[in-house]
Structure 1
Amino acid sequence: MSATLDAPGIRLQVAELLALREGVFQVGRPHPKSRRPGAVPAKAAGAGMDLREIRGFAEGDDARRIDPAATARTGTPHVRSFYEDRDDTLLLIADFRLPMLWGTGATLRSVRAARAAVRRGWQAAARGASVAAMSINAAGVAVIPIGSGLQQMSRISHMLARWHDQALDIGGEGPPLAQALLRAGRLAPPGAEVLIVTNAEGIAETDESALARLARRRHVRLLVPLDPIDAVPPRQPMPIHAGALNKFARLRPVDHTSLAQRLRTLNVHFEAAGDDAG
């Protein structure tokens, strides 16, 4: 990788990802056995009894879950969704495509994304959960299959750092997110949690059908790591140059309300993280 890019906050270091386990994953601490099939006898994951929400009917929903009262009240079909009896599995998806490879502070958004994903991974590993990971850049999609423990998180950390180095080297737009989501559907079992770390530009309308399919039997969460200029833009007007056109514009904090609403209709939860602590 170019020496110009070999700087903290630009290059993603394996050591910093491994260090995130401190205070979360303690060696010698007893951990529960994984709930993956074969570890302990348990019923298969499925729909539980606790109501999550009542929402508008979407293509692919089970008609048997239509809520008569909400449907009669609104005049449009509504369905009930329930929290699932989940297998304790977490799939991390880190986006290293071109829109993530920038930043106005000391850290690229892609580095913030990796840190946030790995921190959630260490938390899951600490409770004995199984963890898998995927990363997407201009070259395609990389996958670490489901595993558990310190060695698994080490494999994930090395993969993310290597894939991030490659992203900085080759640049480029990369494949659509839907390509990774289709593979995620085969990798994450029903009832698993899926954490996708990307930005608003990373979710195209053409990705939404794949996102909705993934969320039908999984707990899907989208985390957007905010750049400093997203949350606290400069107060003074900023110059904009486009060819012979020169203007000044005043920036506003990024508003993710419309994105959160779009995701809610897909049964996907939205988070925004303003710093590396997530």
Structure 2
Amino acid sequence: MSTPLTAMSLPVHSDGIQLCLAELLHYKDQAVRWLPPAQSVWSHLQGQHSSKQKGRGMNFAEVRPYQAGDDIRAIDWRVTARTGKPHTKLFTEEREQPVMLLVDMSNSMQFGSQLLLKSVQAAHFASLISWLTIKAQDRIGALVYNGSALHELKPAGRQQGALRVINQLIASQQHALLNAQQTPTSDNSSVPAIAFSETLRHLSHLCPKGSDIILISDFHTLSENDKRVLSQLRHHNRIQFVQITDPLEQGVTDFRGTEYVADGDQSVWLDFSADHTRAQFLSLYQQQQQMLKAFTNKLAIPLYTLSAAMPLLQQLGQNKG
């Protein structure tokens, strides 16, 4: 875990490593900037992978005889054929659209080389989405994943829904930091890891149909085996991927010394003054990006990227004040 932070650039109330209530409450007042008719958060995150965003869906209400001016695309051809007279379907707009977050705070997210840990940036974005959801009078829920435990928050409305999410984010980050400081022993190394695929299966049981599902992760452990679960989730829900990255993952760093690096499974000395070391980082990053983009393209899932090296609101093109 490498975290040389630039204090003058840190978001309000943040130290880039810990999470506190004040820094996540800050997004409560910021969320109003993305309520209609303003541009959505997603329009500010459009990148190499863009996709038309769906609004609220439409629920079927009834069938009645066709009337002049009705949209011919809504004609119910089965009823028309059965009765011999044209009939049209009527729909009502969905009044509530639950939003479900899957927030990854596992070991690979406890990393940051410049400004924030990736897990902290994930929490900032999750907080913004939570407050935006509540201000839109929808319900917010979450599944917070730390690699060894899942914390389930069923969708809830009003301020209580958002507060439950951000309090769990704070608790999960504290737990992750404590684990990172501990030396592996027979006691804590025996805690079974939870696969990302298992988290997705749990999410599929937790989500109400018609949910807007947002996965916030670095997606380092996403695999081809996860396509089936995500494809099933897409049948009745909208899914979006938000990838959290760090510049060092691309070999971008001003550091030119030698550093001891460990990821929990293995450790090694790396010479960052060598061009080939930074090139290896970039090559691995590009391979992962190719896999992730092919994965999301195959399932028609929008993919957005946020950097842990820049404050969230700055990336969204908004002033902090």
Name 1:121's counterpart in structure 2. Answer: 130
The structure where helix makes up a greater share of residues is: 2
The equivalent position to 2:139 in structure 1, one of 124, 130, 141, is 130
- Give the TM-score, by structure 1 length: 0.68
- 1:122-173 CA deviation, whole Å, 9 max, x = no partner? 1111111111011001331001111111121111110111011112222488
Name 2:25's counterpart in structure 1. Answer: 18
Of the two, which has the highest radius of gyration?
2
Aligned residues: 220
> CA shift at 1:221, angstroms?
0.8
Name 2:305's counterpart in structure 1. Answer: 272
When residues 245 and 11 of structure 1 are mapped into structure 2, their CA distance, relative to the original with a 3 A threshold, is closer
Name 1:57's counterpart in structure 2. Answer: none
- 1:44-63 CA deviation, whole Å, 9 max, x = no partner? 69xxx9xxxxxxxxxxxxxx
Please say if residues 144 and 151 of structure 2, whose CA atoms lie closer than 8 Å, have aligned partners that are also in contact.
Answer: yes
1:151 aligned to 2:160?
yes
Name 1:106's counterpart in structure 2. Answer: 115
The whole-number CA distance in structure 1 between the counterparts of 2:164 and 2:144 is 13
Partner of 1:21: helix, strand, or coil? helix
The whole-number CA distance in structure 1 between the counterparts of 2:207 and 2:173 is 23
Partner of 1:200: helix, strand, or coil? coil
Please say if residues 101 and 110 of structure 1, whose CA atoms lie closer than 8 Å, have aligned partners that are also in contact.
Answer: yes
> CA shift at 1:236, angstroms?
8.5
Name 2:194's counterpart in structure 1. Answer: 175
The whole-number CA distance in structure 1 between the counterparts of 2:123 and 2:255 is 32
The whole-number CA distance in structure 1 between the counterparts of 2:129 and 2:21 is 16
1:228 aligned to 2:250?
no
When residues 108 and 236 of structure 1 are mapped into structure 2, their CA distance, relative to the original with a 3 A threshold, is closer
Name 1:200's counterpart in structure 2. Answer: 219
The whole-number CA distance in structure 2 between the counterparts of 1:165 and 1:236 is 28
The whole-number CA distance in structure 2 between the counterparts of 1:135 and 1:195 is 12
When residues 222 and 174 of structure 1 are mapped into structure 2, their CA distance, relative to the original with a 3 A threshold, is farther
Partner of 2:140: helix, strand, or coil? strand
The equivalent position to 1:261 in structure 2, one of 269, 275, 294, is 294
What is the Cα-based RMSD across aligned positions, in Å? 3.3
When residues 102 and 244 of structure 1 are mapped into structure 2, their CA distance, relative to the original with a 3 A threshold, is closer
1:89 aligned to 2:101?
no
| Structure 1, unpaired ranges of 5+ | 1-6, 27-41, 50-83
- 1:161-220 CA deviation, whole Å, 9 max, x = no partner? 101111222248831122222222122222211001111313123333222222222111
The structure where strand makes up a greater share of residues is: 1
- Identical amino acids, percent of aligned pairs: 19
> CA shift at 1:231, angstroms?
6.4
- 1:17-44 CA deviation, whole Å, 9 max, x = no partner? 1111113259xxxxxxxxxxxxxxx836
Please say if residues 103 and 144 of structure 2, whose CA atoms lie closer than 8 Å, have aligned partners that are also in contact.
Answer: yes
> CA shift at 1:113, angstroms?
0.7
The whole-number CA distance in structure 2 between the counterparts of 1:244 and 1:91 is 40
> CA shift at 1:15, angstroms?
1.8
